[in-house]
Amino acid sequence: MTFSKTLKSALFGLAVLGLTAPAMADQLSDIKAAGKIVTATDMHYAPFDMLNNGTYEGMTKDLFDGVSKEIGVEPVYQDIPWTAELAGLEVKKFDIVIAPVTITPERLERYAFSLPIADATVALVRAASNTEMNKPEDIKGKTVGVQQGTAQFKQLQAFGKELGDVTIKEYGTTDEAYADLAAGRLDAVAGSLPNLTYLVKNRPETFAMFEKATFGQPTYFGWVMRKDDDSASFVKAVNDALLKMTDDGRIKEIQEKWLGTYTELPREVPTK
């Protein structure tokens, strides 16, 4: 065989390979082709995620309904225990975790986050009848509940170690912690500021905020996606939608509906 024929054969083989090689994976393209975004959240985290007579509602749903509409697909909402959500995301059981997840430097190393969707600064709530605790330092010598596996748990743990003599009790859901607080089995519950503000607003006869409620560093909630090249276009689409909803006032309207107030959020993902 001549060199010319050999070269032609080689080029033809490469062309065939090029025609038959699979296209680069792209999560956004796959989502649009499927016509849906499959999500995961814990539907027991008011005011973000709630089940009302079996119907999913809350601030997260209103926000993500808007994002899905901007992307041009339908959202599929799944109620998944918090402890199974990030692991399920990694093995591609769903496209995105829309449970409010505190953005931390450690999580940013492993996952891609959306822009902040809400304030997540850790705060404390007490029984309305307990007027002895007014500032965070008053939990010294007390028992405090918190949802397990959360950034709020880590901050409470660090604060408790700093104070000394703080007993921390972990719960699978915040609802379980609130029930024990109402029953007198806890002295306080730690959680994100918007969650506790909503709790006190709706049940003032049972719960009250500490007069100085927050402690630790200011933090934010975001949604979690996979951190890989395939997902980059999807992450951008979600963030573009959130920015559009911020600029046209929809996010302000949703915040005021569920939180009673509006907090201006960063237009970039915090890295600290």
Residues 90, 82: Cα–Cα separation, whole Å:
14
Average pLDDT, the chain: 91
| Residues 72, 191 within the same domain | no
Residue located via tokens 């822009």: 115
Spell out the residues 6+ positions from residue 37 whose beta carbon is closer than 8 angstroms to its own.
31, 68, 71, 73, 74, 75, 76, 95, 96
* Total count of domains within the chain: 2
- 200 domain-assigned: yes
| Residues 127, 109 within the same domain | no
Residue 193 has pLDDT above 80, yes or no: yes
Helices assigned H by DSSP within the chain = 3-20, 27-34, 59-71, 82-90, 105-110, 151-163, 174-182, 193-202, 232-247, 250-259
Q: Give the tokens for residue 272.
A: 């600290």
| Residues 97, 131 within the same domain | no
Choice between 16 and 27, residue whose per-residue pLDDT is larger: 27
Do the beta carbons of residue 78 and residue 202 sit within 8 Å?
no
| Residues 42, 67 within the same domain | yes
- 22 domain-assigned: no
| Residues 111, 134 within the same domain | no
| Residues 157, 73 within the same domain | no
pTM for this structure? 0.78
Helices assigned H by DSSP within 111-268 = 151-163, 174-182, 193-202, 232-247, 250-259
Give the Cβ contact number of residue 251 at 10 Å.
25
Cα 271–chain centre separation: 16
pLDDT bracket for residue 14 (50, 70, 90): very low
pLDDT for the residue 2: 46
| Residues 101, 35 within the same domain | yes
- 2 domain-assigned: no
The closest alpha carbon to 231, from 66, 114, 80, 107, belongs to 114
Mean predicted confidence (pLDDT) in 122-144: 96
Residues 23, 255: Cα–Cα separation, whole Å:
41
| Residues 177, 249 within the same domain | no
| Residues 37, 110 within the same domain | yes
What is the tens place of the pLDDT at every residue in 33-49?
A: 999 999 999 999 889 99
Do the beta carbons of residue 167 and residue 141 sit within 8 Å?
no
- 9 domain-assigned: no
What is the tens place of the pLDDT at every residue in 93-123?
A: 999 999 999 999 999 999 999 999 999 999 9
Residue 97's identity, in one-letter code, is: V
Residue 264 has pLDDT above 80, yes or no: yes
| Residues 208, 136 within the same domain | yes
| Residues 56, 88 within the same domain | yes
Tell me the CB-side half-sphere exposure of residue 210, using CA atoms within 13 A.
22
Residue 244 has pLDDT above 60, yes or no: yes
- Domain of 150, CATH number, reads 3.40.190.10
| Residues 62, 110 within the same domain | yes
Write out the residue range of the structural domain in which residue 93 sits. Answer: 27-118+219-259
What percentage of the chain exceeds 90 in pLDDT? 82
